Amino acid sequence: MMSSTVATVLGLSGLRSAAAPASELDRIVSLVGDPDGYIDALLYAQFRTEAAKVASDGDGVAEVARYASSFGDLLLHKALSEAFWDSAERSISKQQVIRTAQLEAAEAAIRVSETRTGRTRLSLYLEQTPKLLEAASKQSWAMLDGRAYTFIQSIVVTMRGSVDARIYRLAALFAPTFPPARRRWNAPGCPVGFDTEVAISHVRPNPAYTIYSAQITESAVLSAGVSARGWRDADELVLKQSMELDVLQTKGNLVKELDRSRFRGTPSLRYAVEGTTTVLQFRAGRTWLIPERKINVVISIFSNTSVSEAATWLDRLEDALVLA
């Protein structure tokens, strides 16, 4: 379970191969807008520093505003992205180009907006949509904005689940102040979510299972799975499975004492792992069972830096957990 989740967070390998960005500003926007992107205070400040370097008057704040204006209305970006990836998924399934009413409406709204504002990056997406949907209908790939998008079912599902998080991060990057506001991240129909400032994506492989993921900082990643279909093994076995998988993946060892205390009144196991692999080798995780609702929650924080960083972020994400 967790190996597929980490792949979702870290790479979407095969989704895209990025061309060289036109500028450092474009590079940061591309990073923040990735399905596996992140936004933090350091990246926010770096964006303004780079903006000041290219501004004719040295005014980084004004340059960010100009850049945001040329990017286009973020609500329209969100509407188009949601409608496009829905159409792409339908085009893959039907093996022919499918254009939904929502896609037509989003494109019409963009055309109206562009008559007022002039050309923005939204115009590029409008121009490329037919080619992208054609690629989706053939389960092929196509270029957009310097990236090669591969249209297969699993990647499209991931892209659909990341729209809200991507737009949220871009809004935070362009905003006049930081940090971004706390809000609820809850996949539709999932009984567990998060109230946090971290932008969290989601994938629902089936109605009873949800994967949450977020690149929290440059070195820390959230990976969580929520099952609402119950379990057949004894509770103790369920609690141990994710921990043992983390140890196996990192070729590592458990550190500190296992915390077997009840979490919010129900069975739970919290653990920390120090691995010997070179990528995300430090991990802190919790398996939490809610027997009366047949819910199994597995939260893991992966870090390239330290077990301490992983544990600190696990504390914050545990506090942010909410039940629907």
Assess if residue 5 is contained within a domain. no
Instruction: Give 285's strand partners.
Output: 271, 300
**How long a stretch of residues is the chain?**
324
Per residue in 53-112, pLDDT (tens digit) is: 999 999 999 999 999 999 999 999 999 999 999 999 999 999 999 999 999 999 999 999
Assess if residue 8 is contained within a domain. no
Confidence of residue 13 (pLDDT cuts 50, 70, 90): very low
Assess if residue 223 is contained within a domain. yes
Of 282, 281, 287, 262, give the one whose Cα is nearest residue 272: 282
Mark whether 241 and 311 lie in a shared domain.
Answer: yes
Assess if residue 245 is contained within a domain. yes
Mark whether 141 and 244 lie in a shared domain.
Answer: no
Mark whether 162 and 47 lie in a shared domain.
Answer: yes
Mark whether 138 and 216 lie in a shared domain.
Answer: no
Mark whether 104 and 193 lie in a shared domain.
Answer: no
pLDDT for residue 187: 95
Distance (Å, rounded) from C-alpha 189 to C-alpha 210? 9
| CATH assignment at residue 310 | 3.40.1000.10
Mark whether 175 and 188 lie in a shared domain.
Answer: no
Does the pLDDT at position 8 exceed 80?
no
Distance (Å, rounded) from C-alpha 107 to C-alpha 123? 9
DSSP state of 63: H
3-state SS of the chain: helix, strand, coil percent to 5? 50, 25, 30
Mark whether 188 and 155 lie in a shared domain.
Answer: no
Instruction: Give 273's strand partners.
Output: 254, 283
Per residue in 208-244, pLDDT (tens digit) is: 999 999 999 999 999 999 999 988 899 999 999 889 9
Mark whether 193 and 168 lie in a shared domain.
Answer: no
Domain total in the chain: 2
Distance (Å, rounded) from C-alpha 180 to C-alpha 145? 26
- Show the domain range for 230: 184-323
Assess if residue 41 is contained within a domain. yes
Question: Would the CA dihedral through 13, 242, 272, 205 be positive or negative?
Answer: positive
Distance (Å, rounded) from C-alpha 151 to C-alpha 21? 22
Per residue in 240-256, pLDDT (tens digit) is: 988 998 888 888 899 98
